[in-house]
Amino acid sequence: MPEVADEELVVALRGGELAAFDRLYARYERRLYGYIRRIVGESAVADDLFQDVFLKVLRDRSYDPARGRFAPWLFAVARNACLMAQRSERSQASLRERAEAQLRPGAQALPDARLGEAARVQAAMAALPEAQRQLILLKQLGELSYREIAGLMGVAEGTIKSRLHAATQAFRRLLTEGGSGDAL
């Protein structure tokens, strides 16, 4: 069966062909879930956000195939959903922290001294500023081009290239500080 473009699948989906939705879902399931999971960290939250994003694909008609490729739009929807979830989580965490501080002043969690390689990579990603983490995830997990990321972020392609280079260097430095820097 010849490969059908995402944009054609969206048009078919809007025409009522649910098989088009299944194909889009299968095509992006792994990449999109991985992207969301890396941003939010928790699999339960990632599961919910992933489903929310695909519900938007099914129900929302804001994507216009004439304006560009489907993948950058899909990852923009996922990015926005993740950012909103993180804002909500930070607000809730702040409230929890204040409540716990009142109950147990001075209590601090001890860092795990035996981080494995995956945990070390995750810790390095978490230590990056949000903007740098987003760029790396969009490029590596989202598999978006520089041009697509530039359009998503609303900046020039050259700016994305230089910011991504800086983000990659910062990530490597963080890995080197925690051990070998061979991940990227």
Rounded-to-integer distance, Cα 127 and Cα 123, Å: 6
pTM: predicted TM-score of the whole model, two decimal places: 0.61
Per-residue pLDDT band at 1 (split at 50, 70, 90): low
Confidence bin at 93 (pLDDT 50/70/90): low
Q: pLDDT tens digit string along 23-37?
A: 999 999 999 999 999
pLDDT of the residue at 73: 92
> Does residue 184 form part of some domain?
no
Count of domains forming the chain: 2
35 domain residue, yes or no: yes
- pLDDT tens for 111-170 read 444 446 777 788 888 888 888 888 888 888 888 889 989 888 888 999 999 999 999 999
Burial 47-77 (b: 16+ CB within 10 A, else e): eebbeebbebbeeeeebebeeebbbbbbbbb
Do 81 and 165 lie in one domain? The reply is no
The verdict on 101 and 127 lying in the same domain is no
- Residue-level pLDDT at 90: 61
**Per-residue pLDDT band at 179 (split at 50, 70, 90):** low
Question: Is 177's pLDDT higher than 70?
Answer: yes
**134 and 150 belong to one structural domain:** yes
pLDDT range class, residue 95, cuts 50, 70, 90: very low
Indicate whether 50 pLDDT > 70.
yes
Rounded-to-10 torsion of CA 146, 136, 6, 86:
-130
What pLDDT does residue 178 have?
66
Question: By residue range, what is the domain housing residue 88?
Answer: 1-106
CATH of the domain at 5: 1.10.1740.10
